[in-house]
Amino acid sequence: MSQSSPSTSKTEVIIAGSGSAGLCAALWLSIYKTPYRILDSRSGPLEVGQADGVQCRTVEIFESFGLADELRKEAYWVNEVVFWSDGSEKETNSTTNGEFDGGRGIKKTGQAADTAPGLSHQPHVILNQARINGLMLGAMKRHNGQEVEYGKKVVGVSVDKKLGGAYPVTVEISNTNGEIEKAQANDGAHSLVRRSLNISMIGDSSDSVWGVMDTYPLTNFPDIRKKSVIHSAHGVLMIIPREGGSLARFYIELHSSTVPKSVTLAQLQESARKIFNPYELEFADTYWWSAYSIGQRLAERFHEQERVFLAGDACHTHSPKAGQGMNTSLQDGYNIGWKLGQLLSGRASASLLSTYLLERQKIAKTLIDFDRVWAKQIAAGKSVGDDGKEVDFSETFVRAGRYTAGLTASYDDSVATRGEWSDQTVATNLKVGMRFPTAQVVRFCDAKPMQLVNALPSDGRWRILVFAGDINKKNNAEKLERLGEYLYSTPISLISKFTKPEEDIDSFIETIVILSGNRTETQQDQIPPCFMPVSGKYRMRDIHKIYIDDESYNYGHGHAYEFYGIDPDKGAIVIVRPDHHISMITKIQSHELVRDFFEGFAVRQK
């Protein structure tokens, strides 16, 4: 780095690295119009290789950003996983009654749905990370014209120990210095930011070594277009079909003593041929390949004085076997991005940002623990069941389905998640801290059937979901009326006092009403007008905030109240965070609890 006088600039946030964590956080900041810079040492956008598996939960996140249609259209959909083995882990080579014969090569031992029915309304898909990043880059640019600054490397970070001044973090960028308020490090497993802060990675000292190929296989193997796990005396191979109908990714576990730099493409191809026996396998072309080592490691801490935050591979590394890496990293960015946006736009206190550490460090540790066990089970092709007996890996795969779909993340109590204040008896199938699941409802104003989660886009707003029941019943109508008065009736009412005077009343907290009963017997004038506020450029009444759990014309009945475990005669309030996790569940008449929740972190604007 040049020692000549560096130029100095100031900005609110610098993001080091344009991987999935950095881009997702940057997309949030673009939505909030928060000034930031995102820097990457590469000469341009990622073009090939790296991650490709997109969990159901990640597809849900892309849906919330309005990006899922493109993602689903271009991606390979993982519908089924198949299991093959040559029986080499068994004591016998007998073929009697369909038993394995290690001497004759691999045979199919089972198959299962990749994602069990009911886990998510979105599929598990495969799309190369370059394209996934491209979708987020495009969205960033649409929101505020922001682009990644390529060819700029963060070589050091320091934090003023006294946290004095408005910009206490100094970032060294090649021959430029930047003074910032917050920094986010997503610069990979060998993070220079993490090293400059003397944050150690703790975990396994022995790495697993993997070879990976994106290749065009010529084979008579019947399941080449299905996700496949193959166990053989010659090794373990996973097939991940890729988008486009021809390309497939092969993951091959190599001996732990292998030096990645010594691996050749020819060696990987020969290993694959041996594992495929008795099926033929040749390679028309190989688009990309690599060999690398990955250990299961966790950063000793995820921040420096809550001014510099680590995310993605900069704070957790693991094997590729469960397809969690890119997804967990992206969800790190999804978690911290909106919190930075709310803090730096003056809407929330610093206590909200502190929850990133509480929430994502726990998720990363859970991932490392899971991956350590999962990796061993894949290598062995078997595991121990709940009864202590040995079970085939296919059973293990099915049991782990909710986790591998990305749907088990549960956040502990904090200012953003108030389980101890909640009354979960009013919504027995919902859990505070977990992501809000979706059910079909009918939009009241135009009779459109839709998933309720589509009424909650990732646009930076908190949501108060009001399950008011059938308002043709007097008691339910009166409870909804009283709630509306509490939330909206005066200039210093709950929602008004947290809304900036120049902004629409629903710009920070949006209320969504979900009714039950017969839609055609319910009239719009029965709904308090405050739940359909005037907003937008043309100051029109927004009548799209009212939904009803009823039969649709062509898509049946969603039974949303039953799905959520809500009694229509009692109703419920569910507060949902900007990232779709449930903050609090309470009775519809518990007005003060709703007030107390928002006063715990939100900055009063009036």
Catalytic residues: 52, 242, 251, 320
Strands 36-40 and 149-150: parallel
SS3 534: strand
| C-beta contacts of 138-144 below 8 A and 24+ residues apart | 139/27, 139/30, 139/65, 139/66, 139/67, 140/23, 140/26, 140/27, 140/30, 143/27, 143/30, 143/31, 143/33, 144/30, 144/33
The pair of three-digit structure tokens given for residue 7, joined into one six-digit string: 């130029």
**Cα–Cα distance, 158 to 169 (Å, whole number):** 6
Q: Which residue has the tokens 């998933």?
A: 451
Q: Are 397 and 378 within 8 A, CB to CB? A: no
- Answer for the pair 564, 556: CB distance below 8 angstroms, yes or no: no
Pairing of β 546-549 and β 281-294: unpaired
Instruction: Count the helices and strands in the chain (H runs, E runs).
Output: 14, 32
The H or E element containing residue 415 is none
Strands 546-549 and 509-516: parallel
Any residues with CB less than 8 A from the CB of 176 and at least 6 apart, and which?
Answer: 6, 7, 8, 9, 152
Three-class DSSP category at 108: strand
109: enclosing H helix or E strand: strand 107-113
- Rg of the chain over all Cα atoms, to the nearest angstrom: 26
């394995």: which residue's tokens? 100
* Residue type present at position 228: S
Q: Tell me the C-alpha distance between 325 and 57, whole Å.
A: 13
Burial class (CB in 10 A: 0-12, 13-18, 19+), 600: middle
Q: What is the DSSP letter of 579?
A: T
